[in-house]
Chain A
């Protein structure tokens, strides 16, 4: 059943270390006053402008198979094809930080406030990533209540545009989930507006199904490697 998930500000609050890291500042660096002030100001602006919303819809294995085929552009060794068939439950989700925060970032750049604009951009990106984690946890908790999912299981999100799932997969995902209901539009080049938005498939199942060796055809060109951290957390 399709439903809106509430994303509370405290749950998606961007972490200082992560935000600064994404701006090239290693964790543990002594932060000069000017950068600290920028971060504080960006956080204030974040509170004033963020409008988080999220939509989730469970999907059957068969229905997802059709969506996953997408426009036929996935990599031959697309990661998800080895994972989702082993799942117990699947759901599609879309979330956004809203239009106002992106407009604010544009405005800051247009008025030469580049440092604050860049900081707010990173803050918003980090919040979107956090929101994605919140949705994964929410699905886990829901399934724990209804289907007795336990600590041997995990719920992780997989997104079009990552790990061989071609970004054109957004088209069929949008047709099924209709994230337009929460204000997300998909362009013909598969860009979501507002920019700070994420879509994906929530895969719930035994922890082992999410573990893999990162030596697929697309791994060598991947700049993210967030999979490594995700798997580390699962193993711990």
Chain B
């Protein structure tokens, strides 16, 4: 089995140590980092993502594979020149101000990275201004916001408003999610998109990137 295929297979099994070693070997044997990323790590994550989508495996297995992906990714990152890390697009994500829940947001971030997106994770309790200024500074085309509380949902509206105010709503799109968030709420506040779970969020972000 070729080494990149092996990386993909071991990643799918969530074999963290094997992916770590195989990636190191692949780098040492001179395989270009982009190939290791695309044909090894992301190829494996793409199989995992599809299996999850069709309910062949469960979230825990996706997350074990994601840990293995990071074992490889962390070694590849320094090999790409700044700004040259290949990506499907840049997404700024965070849990909105007033909320400290981040498991849901983390899951969305992991899935997005697994699908090849560059994710700038602002963490939790993130003010509206921070979402917008980061997206502008980093040249991100999408802002993803999460919350688990009804009381903090208005922050999502503030972000959409700020984007309009700064006249960047044409270039920076938004996607929102979290337990109390609904499609109707997304429409009401003018968010470009809504994701009901992490896998769905990835599909929606892919659509947004296509439309750009």
Contacts and interface: CB of A to CB of B under 8 A. Distances in A.
Interface of A: 23-25, 32, 34-35, 38, 105, 109, 112-115, 117-119, 121, 167-168, 187-191, 193, 195, 221, 223
A124 to B, nearest CB: 11
Interface residues of B, number: 26
Contacts of B70: 112
15 contacts: A23-B58, A25-B60, A32-B61, A34-B61, A34-B64, A105-B103, A112-B66, A114-B110, A118-B107, A167-B149, A168-B151, A187-B98, A189-B98, A191-B100, A191-B149
Contact of A195 (B98, B101, B182): B101
Given A38-B60, A118-B103, A190 B151 contact: yes
Nearest 7 CB-CB pairings of A with B:
A189-B98, A115-B63, A114-B63, A112-B70, A189-B151, A115-B64, A115-B60
Contacts of A190: 149, 151
A223 B151 contact: no
Interface string B107-134: 1001000000000000000000000000
B99 interface: yes
* Residue picked from A113, A115, A119, A188, most chain B C-beta under 10 Å: A115
Contacts, number: 73
A189 B99 contact: yes
Contacts of B106: 109, 114, 117
Contact of B98 (A23, A109, A114, A191): A191
B102 interface: yes
Contact of A114 (B67, B99, B101): B67
B179 interface: yes
Given A114-B110, A118-B63, A25 B99 contact: no
Contacts of A195: 100-101
Contacts of B149: 167, 189-191
A35 B152 CA distance: 34
A44 to B, nearest CB: 16
Given A189-B151, A221-B182, A117 B98 contact: no
A187 B101 CA distance: 13
A38 B151 CA distance: 34
A32 B150 CA distance: 37
B44 interface: no
A188 B150 CA distance: 13
Interface of B: 14, 58-61, 63-64, 66-67, 70-71, 98-103, 106-107, 110, 149-152, 179, 182
Contacts of B110: 114
Contact of B179 (A38, A189, A223): A223
B61 A191 contact: no
A105 B63 CA distance: 14
A21 B110 CA distance: 21
A190 B180 CA distance: 15
B152 A114 contact: no
A25 B71 CA distance: 26
Nearest to B66: A114
B59 A23 contact: yes
B99 A191 contact: yes
Given A118-B60, A167-B150, A190-B149, 14 more contacts: A23-B59, A34-B14, A35-B58, A109-B106, A112-B66, A112-B67, A114-B66, A115-B66, A118-B63, A189-B98, A191-B99, A195-B100, A221-B182, A223-B179
Contacts of A118: 59-60, 63, 103, 107
A117 B106 CA distance: 11
A113 B67 contact: yes
A174 B113 CA distance: 40
